[in-house]
């Protein structure tokens, strides 16, 4: 019955903003631009993934039993076999989440955070390792999402904090290896966020919400990749899933070199669907070549349409289409049509290797 899921339709309605319709064309802002594809080409709806999927990048979107039940229903409809929830939490907060999600032990796996208490004070380390061991005993099976964009770990404002290659983190990374806990780490951010917010910024419409160009003193994009490399080198037994294509979707050649050099490095595709759909052939070649090192992830809530958008991008040959909201810059989407073998690796097999 699988063919029924690929339902070609040739009519689609996209929301058109009322504003702008009467604006003289020379006054239309890029921000208001809502083009509708005029091409008479196939539009493919994929509501369920071709193969069973493990989503390795979500957050604790469900906070009640009812919300959790709805999420499980949605997973069933979409073909999501299992979801990894990156709670980033420790202590009582982690325990409460674990308690809630343990209603579906085969459908969810929870990862904890690091206890950052007194992170930048002398003596940091042993207590954090103890808390990691405790979370493991409760049921945590990985760590994440550890996010570091240039200011240092756990820093919301000023730069100068501790980065993952810091010697004070060594015992934590080593404990992850010892316990068999993979780590989801968010290193740097999209390259567009570090560039000047001007007429030449290719990703301006998205980057402006996440901009880092206005934060003096932070470690830049290249510096963050260096930090990741030093961390990978120092902890070869620790499995790192550096999410969002390691924020190197703009330079997949460099990402390939890192994957070649560090067998303990994996990546996920979460939150980078607009970028993938802009360079579909190169991205597809990359996903085929590095199948076995890339996992499926979403990072975009629990919306039915959202799952379908990712399946369409990965499985079909659709071209020049628009997805609004979290999926879009001012680029159009073009799908990747990955091979069955690459899809199976991406959707499930590689995740199973990481999750053991």
For binding to Zn ion (CB under 5 A), which residues are involved? 145, 299
Helices (H), the chain: 65-78, 91-101, 126-138, 170-179, 191-194, 204-207, 221-234, 252-261, 273-278, 280-289, 304-315, 340-344, 350-355
User: Which residue number, 142 or 280, has a Cβ lying nearer to Zn ion?
Assistant: 142
Nearer to Zn ion by C-beta: 131 or 145?
A: 145
DSSP codes, 128-159: HHHHHHHHHHHT--SEEEEEESSS-TT-SSSS
**At how many degrees (to 10) do helices 170-179 and 126-138 cross?**
20
Instruction: Return the number of the residue (85 or 204) whose C-beta is nearest Zn ion.
Output: 85
Q: Minimum distance between the CB of residue 64 and Zn ion, rounded to whole angstroms? A: 21
Q: Report strand pairing: 108-111 vs 143-148.
A: unpaired
Distance CA 99, CA 270 (A): 26
Question: At closest approach, how far in Å is the CB of 39 from Zn ion?
Answer: 34
CB 247 within 8 A of CB 191: yes
C-beta of 145 vs 275, nearer to Zn ion? 145
Q: Smallest Cα–Cα separation from 85: which of 115, 63, 117?
A: 63
Q: Give whichever of 60 and 277 is closer to Zn ion, judged by the CB atom.
A: 60
Q: How far is the CB of 86 from Zn ion (least distance, A)?
A: 6
Quick one: CA torsion of 87, 144, 157, 217, rounded to 10 degrees?
Answer: -170
Nearest CB to Zn ion, comparing residues 275 and 299: 299
Q: Minimum Å distance from CB 168 to Zn ion?
A: 24
Task: Write down the least CB distance from residue 21 to Zn ion, Å.
Answer: 36
As a whole number of angstroms, the distance between CA 314 and CA 301 comes to 19
The order of strands in the sheet holding 183-187 is: 143-148, 183-187, 240-242, 265-268, 294-295
Residue with smaller CB distance to Zn ion, 55 or 299: 299
Return the bridge partners of 268, or none: 295
Q: Least distance (Å) from Zn ion to the CB of residue 326?
A: 12
Q: Which residue is nearest to Zn ion (CB)?
A: 299
Give min distance, CB of 5 to Zn ion, in A: 27
SS3 60: coil
Shortest Å distance, C-beta 213 to Zn ion: 22
Nearer to Zn ion, 115 or 299 (CB): 299
CA dihedral over 218, 183, 72, 328, signed as positive or negative: positive
């Amino acid at each position: 019955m699988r063919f029924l899921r690929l339902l070609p339709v040739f009519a689609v309605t996209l929301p058109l903003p009322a504003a702008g319709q009467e604006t003289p064309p020379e006054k239309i802002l890029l921000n208001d631009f809502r083009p509708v594809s005029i091409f008479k080409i196939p539009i493919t709806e994929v509501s369920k993934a071709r193969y069973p999927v493990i989503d390795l990048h979500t957050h604790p979107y469900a906070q009640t039993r009812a919300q959790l039940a709805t999420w499980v229903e949605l997973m069933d409809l979409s073909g999501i076999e299992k979801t990894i929830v990156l709670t980033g939490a420790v202590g009582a907060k982690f325990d409460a989440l674990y308690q809630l999600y343990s209603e579906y032990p085969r459908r969810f796996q929870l990862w904890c955070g690091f206890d950052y208490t007194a992170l930048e004070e002398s003596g940091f380390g042993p207590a954090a390792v103890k808390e990691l061991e405790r979370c493991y005993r409760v049921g945590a099976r990985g760590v994440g999402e550890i996010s570091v964009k240039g200011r240092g770990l756990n820093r919301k404002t000023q730069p100068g904090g501790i980065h993952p290659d810091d010697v004070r983190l060594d015992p934590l990374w080593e404990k992850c290896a010892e316990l068999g806990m993979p780590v989801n780490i968010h290193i740097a951010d999209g390259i567009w966020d570090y560039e000047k917010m001007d007429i030449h910024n290719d990703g301006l419409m998205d980057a402006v919400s996440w901009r880092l160009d206005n934060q003096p003193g932070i470690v830049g994009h290249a510096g963050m990749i260096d930090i990741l490399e030093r961390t990978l080198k120092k902890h070869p037994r620790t499995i790192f899933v550096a999410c969002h294509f390691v924020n190197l979707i703009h330079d997949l050649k460099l990402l390939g070199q890192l994957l070649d050099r560090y067998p303990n490095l994996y990546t996920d595709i979460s939150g980078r669907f607009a970028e993938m759909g802009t360079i579909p052939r190169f991205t597809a070649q990359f996903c085929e070549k590095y199948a076995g090192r890339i996992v499926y992830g979403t990072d975009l809530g629990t919306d039915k349409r959202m799952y379908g958008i990712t399946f369409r991008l990965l499985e079909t040959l659709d071209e020049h289409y628009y997805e609004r909201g979290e999926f879009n810059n001012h680029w159009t989407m073009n799908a990747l049509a990955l091979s069955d073998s690459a899809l199976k690796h991406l959707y499930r097999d590689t995740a199973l290797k990481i999750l053991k």
